[in-house]
Amino acid sequence: MPGIDDFLCHEPQGGSSFWAPAARPIKAYLCPSDGTGQDNGLWPIFGDPNERGNWSYSNYGANFQVFGNPAAGDVANQANYPNMHTSLKLNTIQDGTSNTIFFAEKFRRCSPGGAAYASLWGHGGWNVPYMSEFAYGKPDGSAGYSANSGITGVVGPNSKFQVIPQNSLACNPMMTQQIHTSILLAGMGDGSVRGVNSGVSGPTWWAAVTPNVGDVLGSDW
């Protein structure tokens, strides 16, 4: 619709009702094996009686090491900062696109200790645990970032995906989670999809997450 370019805008639906783009469920973003959240989303965006739809989930998180700007530092990665976004291009990924994870599965909803967080495809950077992303921290894996987040990001070998039951209170919204038995589905930079075995080591996982560190994938990959 001309003049509407904001995922939180009010798209008229007739009468006084409206529907924000971020409240539109996108079937391709949802894994049918995940039962942590309903297909119709989390909760209303504005709390307005005239709005339709809810914040919509995504089961596929983006790798911050690829799509963010981890080298900019924690403070620089604040909401709406231009340097929060990547300057990488496919031909500048030194470790190779076939060796670098771009997207990985995660639960729609995480409730660590009973709190409520979610992976929402249309959420902005003002509250990172609600974004569909993972590996939020330094590119050397030494520390996670906490800017715009009530939970610190997880990087390095300890960032390997969680193998936990759905709706577990141990779920960390800053990490990815295995949805399917024995494997986690990952979208690689070359466009392929890989089933990463749950037995993969933390160092191998992190080597696959980082695009330009020069680390080598282990034999367990």
pLDDT digits (tens, 9 = 90+) for 18-29: 899 999 999 999
Residues 6+ apart with CB under 8 A from 27: none
Residue 71 confidence (pLDDT) = 86
Domain boundaries, the chain: 60-209
For residues 56 and 58, give the distance between their C-alpha atoms in angstroms, rounded to a whole number.
7
Return the pLDDT at 78: 60
92 burial level (CB within 10 Å; 0-12, 13-18, 19+):
exposed
Mean of pLDDT over the chain: 90
pLDDT, average across residues 159-182: 97
pLDDT of residue 100: 97
The residues pairing with 52 across neighbouring beta strands, listed in sequence order, are 19
Q: How do residues 40-82 score in pLDDT, each as one tens digit?
A: 999 999 999 999 999 999 999 999 999 998 988 887 666 544 4
pLDDT of residue 4: 44
Nearest Cα to Cα of residue 16 among 49, 55, 50, 53: 50
The band of 3, judged by pLDDT with boundaries at 50, 70 and 90, is: very low
pTM of the model: 0.91
